[in-house]
Each structure stands twice: as structure tokens, then as C-alpha cells.
Amino acid sequence: MQPDTANINISDSALIQQCQAGDSAALERLITKYKDRLYNAVLRICGNKEDAAELTQDAFVRIIENLHRFQGRSSFYTWAFRIAVNLTLNFCRRRVRIETGSLDAELGGDSEQAKTALRNYLADSTVRDPVEIAQNKEQVDLIVRAINNLDTDHKAIIVLRDIEGMDYAQIARILDVELGTVKSRLARARANLRANLEAIL
């Protein structure tokens, strides 16, 4: 079977070829291109900045060490995320329990004003645009806290779908699960997230 070249982002493809040829500058460009997205996804799943930094480093090391195996059958982005997300999930499953207390301590979001604004947003069936919420750090912290309180698998699927905007098929490939599992897990994750938010508010 021929690789699905249509899946390869051209600039990624060129970068990867240069990296495979030993071009260290290309390697640096590849890391720079994806570091924020990978770090953000890892952070939202593991919920801890230090762990996220370490896991992102490890993920890139594995990506680079296995770059010669990448043949473009899926997009580089999906392949790289698969490595990073699975690394993070394994780490989180090994960790006895995320210390949500310390995570909460890092976050703000305890002001009554922020809670009221979010309550109103959730209760008002006419308001749909959360732009104002996104600009308020305390309200964002409340949302992050609700995400942190999800199960690891639910966090991962929320991050891949709602932060990374991946389609269900991509998520299924990354998490190595059936499409039906993606649908049911995402539905449960969003329902639990709402419950978490209501509990916090």
C-alpha cells in the first residue's frame, strides 16, 4: 500500500525529510513548530507544569528517535500526538493520584464574581459565546480546575476534541480505541465536566 501522501502537510514533509537527513536546524524548527501545542495538550491532561515540561521533553525525544520510522501514512501531527498523549496517559495512570489540592492552590478562580459569571453563562440558554470568560483569568482557572478533576481518559478526549479540534477518527487512532468508544467517552466526559463545574460553582 502506498502512503497517503495527501495526508502529509507539505511543510512538515519537507521538514521531516531534512530531519531524517540529519539537519539539526530542521529538527529545531520541527520542535519549535509543535512544542506549544504538545506542551499544552500534555499539561491539560496531566495537570502539572513540571510534569508537563518533562513529559513534553520525553515525547520529543521519542518522536525524534523514531522519526526514521515515520512514513507519512498519517499526518505527522497525529503521529506526534499519539506518542505524547500515550506517554502522558501512562504517566498519569502510574501516578497514584493527582494532587488536586496542590493544583487548585496554583490556580485562582475562587472569587464569587468569577463563579457568578460562569453560573450565569451556564444557566442562560441564550448566551453562547464565551469570549468574555476566556479573557478573565479567574474564570478560566475555574474551568481548568473542573478539567483537572476529570478522569485521565476523559481529560485526554476533551483535550483532543475541544482544545486540539481533532475529529473522532483521529482521536480513535491516537487513543487506539474504537470510534464508538470515542463517541461514548466524549459524551461522558462532557457530562462529567459540566457536573464538575456545577460542583465548583
Asked if 193 is part of the footprint of other proteins (rule: CB under 8 A), the reply reads: yes
What is the smallest separation between the CB atom of 118 and other proteins, expressed in angstroms?
8
Region 46-75 residues binding other proteins, contact defined as CB under 8 A: 49, 53, 56-58, 60-66, 69-71, 73-74
Task: Give ∠ CA 182-185-191 in degrees, rounded to 5.
Answer: 135
Ordered alpha helix ranges (H), 47-161 = 49-65, 76-94, 100-106, 112-123, 131-134, 137-148, 152-158
Closest distance to other proteins from the beta carbon of 163 (Å): 6
Based on the shown chain and the rule CB under 8 A, indicate whether residue 94 belongs to the binding site for other proteins.
yes
Q: Rule CB under 8 A: which of 104-123 touch other proteins?
A: 118, 121-122
Shortest reach from residue 98's CB to other proteins, in Å: 14
Give the count of residues interacting with other proteins (CB under 8 A). Answer: 71
Q: How far apart are CA 16 and CA 74, in angstroms?
A: 13
Q: Does 85 engage in binding with other proteins (CB under 8 A)?
A: no
CA distance readout (Å), 191 to 32, 94, 129, 154, 177: 35, 25, 19, 10, 20
Q: Would you say 111 or 121 has its CB closer to other proteins?
A: 121
C-alpha cell at 59: 515525547
